[in-house]
């Protein structure tokens, strides 16, 4: 089981979701992905769409300013 990181804090719609989805598709089952994202649409919808697609959102935590971390397990 490996842990990967993805920073989408500088991305805009739709690449926030696109990069998360592509990264998740490359992982093996059980691997973890730490996604760094900003408030608003990414924070609302990246955890939601990940859950809807069968991934497990283990944690959503505040990092600093408007940046949050979402920990997703494949």
Of 26-55, binders to another protein (CB under 8 A) are 45, 49, 52-53
Per-residue binding string, another protein, 50-69, x by CB under 8 A, is --xx----------------
14 is an interface residue for another protein by CB under 8 A: yes
Report the Cα 18 to chain-centroid distance in Å: 10
Burial 33-54 (b: 16+ CB within 10 A, else e): bbbbbbeeebbebbbeebeeee
Which positions lie near another protein, rule CB under 8 A?
10-15, 17-18, 20-22, 45, 49, 52-53
């Amino acid at each position: 089981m490996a842990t990967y990181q993805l920073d989408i804090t500088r991305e805009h719609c739709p690449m926030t979701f696109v990069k998360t989805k592509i990264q998740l598709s490359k992982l093996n089952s059980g691997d973890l992905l730490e996604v760094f994202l900003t408030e608003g649409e990414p924070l609302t919808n990246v955890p939601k769409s990940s859950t809807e697609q069968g991934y497990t959102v283990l944690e959503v935590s505040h990092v600093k300013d408007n940046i949050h971390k979402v920990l997703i397990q494949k």
